[in-house]
DNA sequence: CGACCGATTGACT
DNA sequence: GTCAATCGGTCGG
């Protein structure tokens, strides 16, 4: 697996607010190929987004925002471009990009990254300092990538137009290289094809359905 | 309150 | 393939 060079066009190509203020599934699809960047002690820890899922607010039984705004999901109801981080299974964090206008409660779950920069930091955070497949399992799942990028409770509500966590232009991925299929790990609305990933990418999380 | 369980992961049969 | 870990959100009484 060949990785992209560590040099990143940090602030110049940061996605604008307008990118996030669009229909959630368009944002989910268009995030593929973009770079999620976390600045840790002045240095970028980053990966290319290779898998996403849309959660469509109060019309989506699988969404945390299905039953309206609460203390936990308050960030989901902000306008697009904020980071919604939630804690689950008593030990894991997962992160979402809030979409559309304020009050919608919609977001895109980032399910997998391909490591690009700060890989040693990721390995430290993931406690994966040894081989054999060092980078393969570093960020190929929503909780894994949060651990690798040190995204936790304190990062909930981060504005992606700030300088701590943001997303920069890296696309677009050709439409023929994008797979749209059903979401993973949910028991309701399981038939909705609101998951997107880059076809053939080795960092996509464990998949059940064929391409 | 108490019980249940989750947008997961890693270890194990 | 199965299952435990581990805890806070949610819901029923």
Q: Considering all nucleic acid strands, name the nucleotide whose C1' atom is nearest to the C-alpha of residue A208.
A: C1
More confident residue, A191 or A9: A191
Give the model's pLDDT for residue A150.
98
Is the model's pLDDT at A59 over the cut of 60?
yes
Find out whether A198 and A33 touch, Cβ atoms under 8 Å: yes
DSSP chain A: -PPPPS---TTTTBPPHHHHSS-HHHHHHHTTT-EEEEEETTEEEEEEEEEEEEEEGGG-TTSTTTT---TTTGGGGS-SSBEEEEEETTTEEEEEEEESSTT--EEEEEEEEEEEE-HHHHHHHHT--S-SSTTTTTSSSHHHHHHHTT--GGGTT-BTTSSSEEEE---PPPGGGEEEE--SS-SSSTT---EEEETT-TTSPP--S--
Strand C proximal to A93 Cβ, under 7 A: no
* Residues whose CB falls within 8 Å of the CB of residue A194, separated by 6 or more in sequence, listed in order: A25, A28, A53, A54, A55, A56, A182, A183
Q: How far is CA A164 from the centre of its chain?
A: 15
What is the rounded distance in angstroms from the CA atom of residue A79 to the CA atom of residue A10? 23
Q: Over the stretch A99-138, which tens digit does the pLDDT of each residue have?
A: 999 999 999 999 999 999 999 999 999 987 655 566 889 9
Q: Over the stretch A134-190, which tens digit does the pLDDT of each residue have?
A: 688 999 999 999 999 999 999 999 999 999 999 999 978 999 999 999 999 999 999
Rounded to whole angstroms, the distance from the CA of residue A12 to the C1' of nucleotide B7 is: 32
Give the model's pLDDT for residue A195.
98
Give the model's pLDDT for residue A82.
98
Which 61-80 positions of A have CB less than 7 A from strand C? Answer: 64, 67, 70-73
What is the rounded distance in angstroms from the CA atom of residue A202 to the CA atom of residue A209? 15
Is the model's pLDDT at A78 over the cut of 80?
yes
Rounded to whole angstroms, the distance from the CA of residue A93 to the C1' of nucleotide C7 is: 12
The percentage of chain A sitting over the pLDDT mark of 90, rounded to a whole number, equals 86
The model's pTM: 0.93
Q: Dihedrals φ, ψ of A75, to 5°?
A: -65, -30
> In this complex, which protein residues place their C-beta within 7 A of any atom belonging to strand B?
A 53, 55, 62-65, 76, 84, 86, 88-92, 94, 96, 107, 109, 126, 137, 141-144, 183-187, 205-206
What is the rounded distance in angstroms from the CA atom of residue A39 to the CA atom of residue A46? 8
Rounded to whole angstroms, the distance from the CA of residue A199 to the C1' of nucleotide C9 is: 35
Nucleotides of C under 7 A from a protein CB: 5-11
């Amino acid at each position: 697996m060949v990785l992209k060079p560590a040099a990143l066009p940090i602030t110049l190509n940061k996605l604008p607010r307008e990118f996030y203020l669009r229909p959630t599934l368009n944002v989910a699809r268009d995030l593929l190929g973009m770079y999620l960047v976390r600045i840790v002690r002045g240095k970028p820890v980053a990966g290319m987004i290779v898998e996403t899922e849309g959660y469509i607010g109060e019309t989506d039984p699988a969404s945390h925002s299905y039953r309206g705004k609460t203390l936990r999901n308050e960030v989901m109801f902000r306008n697009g471009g904020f980071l919604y981080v939630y804690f689950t299974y008593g030990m894991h964090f997962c992160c979402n990009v809030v979409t559309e206008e304020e009050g919608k409660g919609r977001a895109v779950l980032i399910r997998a990254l391909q490591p690009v920069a700060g890989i040693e930091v990721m390995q430290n955070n993931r406690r994966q300092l040894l081989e054999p497949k060092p980078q393969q399992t570093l960020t190929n799942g929503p909780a894994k990538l949060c651990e690798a990028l040190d995204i936790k409770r304190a990062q909930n509500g981060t504005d992606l137009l700030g300088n701590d966590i943001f997303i920069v232009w890296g696309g677009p991925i050709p439409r023929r290289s994008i797979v749209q299929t059903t979401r993973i790990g949910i028991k309701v609305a399981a038939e909705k094809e609101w998951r997107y990933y880059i076809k053939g990418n080795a960092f996509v999380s464990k998949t059940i359905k064929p391409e």
